Amino acid sequence: MFLDRVKISIKAGNGGSGAISFLRTKLVANGGPDGGEGGKGGNIVFVATKNMNTLYSFRFKKKFVAGDGENGAKKLQTGASGKDEIIEVPCGTVIIDAKSDKIIADLYQDGMKFVALKGGNGGHGNAYYKSSIKQAPHYSQTGEVTQSREVVLELKTIADVGLVGFPNVGKSTLLSCVSNANPKIANYPFTTLYPNLGVCAVKGQTFVVADIPGLIEGASEGQGLGHYFLKHVERVRLILHLIDISESEGRDFIEDYKKINLELEKYSKELAKTPQIIVFSKIDLLSEEEFTAKRARFVKEVNLPHLEISGATMKGVEELKLAVLEKLATLPKKAPLDIEEHDFDKKDNTSINITREDNGTFVVSGGKIDNFIRGVILSDTRSFAYFQTKLQEMGIIDMLKERGLKNGDIVKIKDIEFEYMD
Ligand SMILES: Nc1nc2c(ncn2[C@@H]2O[C@H](COP(=O)(O)OP(=O)(O)OP(=O)(O)O)[C@@H](O)[C@H]2O)c(=O)[nH]1
Ligand SMILES: [Mg+2]
């Protein structure tokens, strides 16, 4: 099965919490604070690899979570960083933020890396809070908690050359003649059900060829399979437009040529502008005279340069390979897609949400709350006083009142639960 579009969820690792610890030795009964910092959470990293050519591996695994940072420890030991989650994707994978629909990365070249989400920061250990007025802080900061996000992976194959034409015209046969690929070939339409890639070597150089399912009239309106797969030739530099000049299927070969161009045009103006080499296929099925007469008709009606091949006898195949190499040398390399301005990896430091549980308890959550609460230690009286003042200052009490908060109501903020009194 071929899979070229999939939605997955990704989450960077949480930061580890800072430690609360005090140095204790035989000589110093009550030494200073030595709680170390929490470790950083692991990142979510996408890497393009030429060893994959479909997104099939994402069929069953759709959730990716990087490792959490470890908590800090005594003797000022910083917690270990969480392990990055490395997600391999085929070259040409475009990453789209599922929420905003914006393109956030285009991994078009082997080895390209993209850090999609950064791990959470570790919390400070109690050693960090030591000051001249606070010699023995009994508190530390918890690690930053990260949110999971959804992205769509869409594969837009990267190849130099795309094979385009009606079904059964010999596209896969040509791919098998010019490259190491071994596509399925058979005498019925829609033998090819998904794109095949092959590497063609000629004169010590190589280029990549993509063979896609055949197109039919109405493809751009969804007829057949071809339309769906045209995205896999959107990024080629050169199209080989194959036409069965033997008319073995009973269609007029010049009509075929025009219809395919029309479908390309309807799919995308850009694709229609991609340079083409017109290739007559199955010439072995015609006599010399028949071929000459048909070619004369093509010259009269279309009058464009063309080449001719037989996948059966290999006639013309070497010439075609050389012509492709020569043409490619004149064409610019395709650039990756433009990345749109986005705030995908922007941490949520601003949201405050208030919800109510069935029993009437008010629940306050959101990115701004998460950040604020990391530094609050209930067991420390000064910290708790800070918490109470901050609730007023941040406007949370007012927001709660707007939602009907009265004396005696229960308010829950992360792990903190208290009864409200004016
Ligand atoms: N005689 C002759 N037969 C050919 C030639 N090229 C391909 N064929 C035959 O034509 C049939 C179709 O070939 P494919 O290569 O599968 O055609 P395709 O364009 O990939 O077809 P789809 O995948 O269905 O779009 C097969 O039976 C091939 O053996 C050729 O040059 N000469
Ligand atoms: Mg085929």
Q: Is the CB of 284 under 6 A from ligand 1?
A: yes
* Closest of 10, 269, 23, 234 to residue 119, by C-alpha: 10
For the segment 325-350, what is each residue's pLDDT rounded down to a tens digit?
999 999 988 888 888 888 888 887 88
Q: Is 171 in the pocket of ligand 1 (CB under 6 A)?
A: yes
CB of 317 sitting under 6 A from ligand 1: no
The H or E element that residue 46 is part of is strand 44-49
**Is the CB of 51 inside a 6 Å radius of any atom of ligand 1?**
no
Check pLDDT > 70 for residue 264.
yes
Beta-carbon neighbour count of residue 223 at 10 Å? Answer: 13
Structure tokens that stand for 10 in this block: 């990704």
pLDDT score recorded for residue 30: 67
pLDDT tens column, 91-117: 999 999 999 999 999 998 999 999 999
| Residue in 166, 185, 291, 310 to alter for ligand 1 test, most ligand atoms within 8 A of Cβ | 185
- For the chain, where do the domains classified as CATH 3.30.300.350 start and end? 353-419
Residue 82 pLDDT > 90, yes or no? yes
Could you tell me if the CB of 170 is within 6 A of ligand 1?
yes
The DSSP symbol for 201 reads E
173 lines ligand 1 (CB under 6 A): yes
Q: Give the model confidence (pLDDT) of 189-209 as tens digits.
A: 888 888 888 999 999 999 999
Token digits of residue 93: 């994978």
Q: Is the CB of 282 under 6 A from ligand 1?
A: yes
**Could you tell me which residues are beta bridge partners of residue 118?**
none
- Answer yes or no: are the C-beta atoms of 69 and 39 closer than 8 Å: yes
What is the pLDDT of the chain when averaged over all its residues? 91
248 lines ligand 1 (CB under 6 A): no
At position 128, the amino acid (one-letter code) is Y
* Sequence-ordered list of residues with C-beta below 8 angstroms from that of 374, at least 6 positions apart, any chain: 123, 141, 142, 143, 144
Dist CA 411 CA 356 (whole Å): 9
Residue among 168, 184, 209 whose CB has most ligand 1 atoms within 8 A, to mutate: 168
Instruction: Quote the CATH superfamily of domain 1-156.
Output: GTP1/OBG domain (2.70.210.12)
For ligand 1, the distance from its centroid to the CA atom of residue 171, given in whole angstroms, is 7
H or E segment and range at residue 318? helix 317-329
- Find the ligand nearest to 189 CA: 1
Which atom belonging to ligand 1 lies closest to the Cα atom of 187? 27
Give distance in angstroms: CA of 395 to centre of ligand 2. Answer: 65
Smallest-distance ligand from the CA of 164 = 1
Q: Which atom of ligand 1 is nearest to the CA of 173?
A: 15
Write out the H or E segment, with its range, that includes residue 200. Answer: strand 196-202
Question: Is 311 close to ligand 1, i.e. is its CB under 6 Å away?
Answer: yes
The finding on whether 196 has its CB within 6 A of some atom of ligand 1 is: no
Domain 161-329 has CATH 3.90.226.10: no
Q: Which residue has the higher pLDDT, 25 or 288?
A: 288
Query: HSE on the CB side for 67, CA within 13 Å?
Result: 12
Q: Kindly report, residue by residue over 299-329, the tens digit of the pLDDT.
A: 999 999 999 999 999 999 999 999 999 999 9
Q: How far, in Å, CA of 175 to CA of 207, rounded?
A: 12
For the chain, give every residue range classified as CATH 3.40.50.300. 161-329
Q: In this structure, which topology does domain 353-419 adopt according to CATH?
A: GMP Synthetase; Chain A, domain 3 (3.30.300)
Distance CA 363, CA 5 (A): 38
Rounded distance, CA 349 to CA 368, Å?
Answer: 4
Task: For CATH 2.70.210.12, list the domain ranges present in the chain.
Answer: 1-156
Nearest CA to ligand 1 atom 24: 190
CA atoms within 13 A on the CB side of 297: 11
Q: What pLDDT score was predicted for residue 336?
A: 84
What single-letter amino acid sits at 177?
A: C
DSSP assigned state of 376 = -
Does the pLDDT of residue 220 top 90, yes or no? no
Query: Using an 8 Å Cβ cutoff, are 161 and 198 in contact?
Result: no
**Distance (Å, whole) CA 117 – CA 367:** 16
Among 163, 172, 173, residue to substitute to test ligand 1 (most atoms within 8 Å of Cβ): 173
**195 C-beta closer than 6 A to ligand 1:** no
At 1 the pLDDT is 62
The residue-averaged pLDDT of 54-73 equals: 95
Per-residue pLDDT tens digits for 138-177: 888 899 989 899 999 999 888 899 999 999 999 999 999 9
310 lines ligand 1 (CB under 6 A): yes
Give the list of residues 6+ apart from residue 224 with CB closer than 8 angstroms, or none: 167, 190, 213, 214, 215, 216, 218
